[in-house]
């Protein structure tokens, strides 16, 4: 701000009879003035009408001893700043005898550095209105200048950092307009800075409109970082997935939203590959488990085939006599149809277990699914002298899910239990499978064995992939079981069985939950 009115030098008329007192008063006033300079400014100066320094008073607090410039004009002392143009403008002001305030200049220091000073001055006129010079003050501002410079440099550094980041940075105003972008934003979207600044995110964000922006901002109000998945569209029309982190903050009283987005094409691809690999593994595990129970499967299939043969022979007999018994032949043929249907069912069930493509989700009757698995595992149970007992709760609510996968879990748990009981005496090998619905209608399935039980120290590791204590184990069974149960929004856990052995249990949310 420039001071508006030049002031006049006060004229002091002294009465000779009061000479001593005014001298005293002058000395006191000088002292007061010096104290003022000492505590308020770094330098007090006066120049004459030719801008020559005629007085300089320095504060005692100055870090280095000041060099007096008395007798030199302003232009005779060395300056590093401002440049010639800055000086020319300042000189115009001085020549026009105008007041000035906070004129910043830099002088060289003896060590070759810069000392910044902010100077203010008032033109002085005598009683007849003639310009007699300037009076003014100066303040050393080197520290402040350094801090400002450091800030500018750190902002420039930050800018370089942001520009070289592989993520996209965008600064938005409250209403969603882009205020600033980094280089990656332009490179990844194919727009120039000028095209992006001033536009809204709707230019490149396929899922963004005014309402979405508003609701996102409302979520941000809490001061949290919101993380969203979105689809960005480049200028050439190609689309790629991004993860966006948004945060609102205040910049000079204005609300701003900073968005940092990262291209997640690779991450998505990896997740997809992982999913595929897991599906492959799940299938391989199922096929391996099926391999272990082939004897039961063969047995299950041979039963309807034998029945079909017997009934066909009987039908032939009933029809081959002199007076064919049509009614009996019809009964035999009906049995053939029933047994063939049963055989067909077994085949399609086995096929569904072995098939790679997942069957659609369905409402699963958990008790029935378990009974089918027990049928499959029967010969394995017999071979290892394991007594099986079931305690299936009647009227169990249905579970929404993939029947085959849930059966795979039960089959894995049964096979693990059989293997665990191999080491205990025949006659003590008992497998008990129970189902129940708990108070919140979760369906809980428990598979208990009377094997050696679980090593307490290792319980946490059982579900880790590749953890196995068996010479030919894969260590994938329980890990796959867990991921299947979790995909059904359920939980799989383990406990000690009473009086011995292990219990593996899982719970699943039901239709009625
Ligand atoms: P694998 O059967 O190939 O070893 P799993 O993931 O199915 O892989 O099982 C991991 C480990 O958990 C087994 O090696 C075994 O040590 C332990 N385990 C699993 N079921 C039981 C059980 N019923 N009783 C005792 N230990 C078990």
Distance 469 CA to ligand 1 centre (A): 7
Does residue 510 contact residue 443 with C-beta atoms inside 8 Å? yes
Contact residues for 423 (Cβ-Cβ < 8 A; gap 6+): 451, 452
Q: In a mutational test of the pocket of ligand 1, which residue from 281, 410, 412, 416 has the highest number of ligand atoms less than 8 Å from its CB?
A: 416
493 Cα to the center of ligand 1, angstroms: 13
Q: How confident is the model over 61-80, as a mean pLDDT?
A: 84
Owner of token pair 């902002």:
155
CATH class of domain segment(s) 276-509: alpha beta
Picking from 135-144, 340-349, 429-438, which range would have the lowest pLDDT averaged per residue?
Answer: 340-349
Cα gap 44→41, rounded to integer Å: 7
Please give all residues whose beta carbon lies within 6 A of any atom in ligand 1, as ranges. 416-417, 420, 449, 451, 454, 462, 467-470, 473-479, 502
Which of 106-120, 243-257, 272-286, 388-402 tops mean pLDDT?
388-402
Cβ-contact 445, 481 below 8 angstroms: no
What is the pLDDT at residue 18?
Answer: 52
Q: Which tens digit of pLDDT belongs to each residue from 267-323?
A: 999 888 888 887 787 778 888 787 777 777 777 788 889 999 999 999 999 998 888
Fold observed for domain 29-146: Beta-Lactamase (3.30.450)
> Are both 29-146 and 162-263 of the same fold?
yes
Average pLDDT over residues 329-353: 86
| Interacting residues of 343 by C-beta distance below 8 A, sequence separation 6+ | 301, 304, 305, 308
Whether 380 shows a pLDDT value over 60: the answer reads: yes
CA of 500 to the centre of ligand 1 (A): 16
Sign of the Cα torsion 21, 23, 28, 29 reads positive
Which contacts (CB < 8 Å, 24+ apart) does range 365-368 have?
365/396, 365/398, 366/396, 366/398, 366/399, 366/406, 366/435, 366/443, 366/445, 366/508, 367/392, 367/393, 367/396, 367/435
Question: What is the token pair recorded at 191?
Answer: 């727009």
Q: What are the residue boundaries of the structural domains of the chain, listed by start? A: 29-146, 162-263, 276-509
Residue among 462, 463, 494, 506 to mutate when testing ligand 1 (max atoms within 8 A of CB)? 462
Average pLDDT, the chain: 87
Angle between helices 265-292 and 294-320 (to 10 degrees): 60
Pocket residue to mutate for ligand 1, from 412, 478, 501, most atoms within 8 A of Cβ: 478
Give the model confidence (pLDDT) of 480-506 as tens digits: 899 899 989 999 999 999 999 999 999
Q: Given this model, what pLDDT does residue 343 score?
A: 86
Name residue, tokens 């082939």: 294
What does 174-191 look like in DSSP terms, one character per residue?
A: TTSBEEEE-HHHHHHHT-
Tell how far the Cα of 468 is from the centroid of ligand 1, in angstroms.
Answer: 6
336's tokens:
């053939």
Give per-residue pLDDT as tens, 6-45. 444 444 444 555 556 778 888 888 888 777 766 778 889 9
The CATH architecture that domain 162-263 belongs to is 2-Layer Sandwich (3.30)
DSSP 380-399: HHHHTT-EEEEEPPTTPPPE
Sign (positive or negative) of CA dihedral 302, 303, 306, 307: negative
Beta bridge partners of 43: 58, 138
Averaged pLDDT for residues 387-406 = 94
pLDDT at 337 over 60: yes
Backbone region of residue 323 per phi and psi (left: phi > 0; alpha: psi in -120 to 50; beta: other values): beta
Amino acid 172: pLDDT: 93
Q: Go through the chain and tell me how many residues it has.
A: 513
């Amino acid at each position: 701000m420039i001071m508006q009115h030049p002031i006049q030098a006060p004229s002091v008329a002294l009465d000779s009879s009061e000479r001593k007192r005014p001298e005293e008063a002058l000395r006191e006033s000088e002292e007061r003035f010096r104290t003022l300079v000492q505590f308020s400014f770094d330098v007090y100066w006066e120049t004459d009408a030719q801008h020559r320094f005629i007085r300089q008073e320095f504060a005692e607090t100055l870090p280095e001893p000041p060099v007096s410039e008395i007798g030199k004009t302003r232009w005779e002392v060395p300056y590093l700043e401002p440049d010639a143009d800055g000086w020319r403008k300042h000189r115009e002001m001085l020549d026009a005898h105008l007041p000035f305030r906070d004129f910043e200049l830099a002088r060289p220091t003896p060590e070759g550095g810069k000392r910044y000073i902010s100077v203010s001055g008032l033109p002085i006129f005598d009683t007849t209105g003639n310009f007699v010079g300037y009076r003014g003050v100066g303040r050393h501002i080197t520290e402040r200048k350094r801090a400002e410079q450091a800030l500018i440099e750190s902002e420039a550094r930050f800018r370089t950092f942001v520009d070289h980041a592989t993520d996209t940075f965008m600064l938005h105003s409250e209403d969603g307009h882009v205020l600033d972008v980094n280089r990656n934003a332009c490179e990844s979207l194919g727009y120039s800075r000028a095209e992006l600044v001033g536009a809204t995110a709707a230019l490149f964000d396929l899922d963004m409109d005014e309402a979405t922006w508003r609701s996102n901002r409302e979520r941000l109000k809490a001061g949290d970082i919101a993380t969203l998945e979105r689809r960005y569209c480049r200028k050439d029309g190609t689309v790629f997935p991004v993860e966006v982190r948004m945060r609102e903050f205040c910049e000079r009283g204005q609300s701003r939203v900073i968005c940092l987005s990262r291209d997640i094409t690779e991450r998505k691809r990896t997740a997809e590959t992982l999913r595929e690999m897991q599906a492959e593994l799940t299938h391989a595990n199922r096929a391996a488990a099926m391999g272990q129970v082939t004897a039961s499967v063969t047995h299950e299939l041979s039963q309807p085939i034998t029945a079909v043969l017997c009934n066909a022979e009987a039908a032939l007999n009933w029809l081959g006599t002199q007076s064919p018994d049509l009614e009996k032949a019809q009964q035999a043929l009906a049995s053939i149809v029933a047994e063939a249907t049963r055989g067909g069912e077994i085949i399609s069930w086995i096929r569904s277990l072995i098939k790679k493509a997942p069957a659609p989700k369905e409402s699963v009757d958990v008790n029935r699914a378990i009974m089918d698995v027990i049928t499959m595992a029967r010969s394995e149970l017999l071979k290892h002298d394991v007594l099986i007992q079931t305690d299936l709760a009647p009227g169990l609510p249905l579970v929404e899910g993939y029947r085959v996968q849930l059966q795979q879990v039960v089959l894995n748990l049964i096979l693990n239990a059989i293997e665990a009981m191999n080491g205990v005496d025949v006659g003590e090998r008992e497998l008990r499978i129970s189902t129940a619905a708990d108070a919140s209608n979760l369906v809980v399935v428990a598979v208990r064995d009377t094997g050696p039980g679980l090593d307490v120290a290792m319980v946490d590791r059982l579900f880790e992939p590749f953890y196995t204590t068996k010479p030919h184990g894969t260590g994938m069974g329980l890990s796959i079981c867990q991921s299947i149960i979790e995909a059904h929004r359920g939980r799989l856990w383990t406990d000690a069985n009473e009086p011995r052995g292990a219990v593996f249990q899982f719970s699943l949310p039901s239709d009625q939950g």
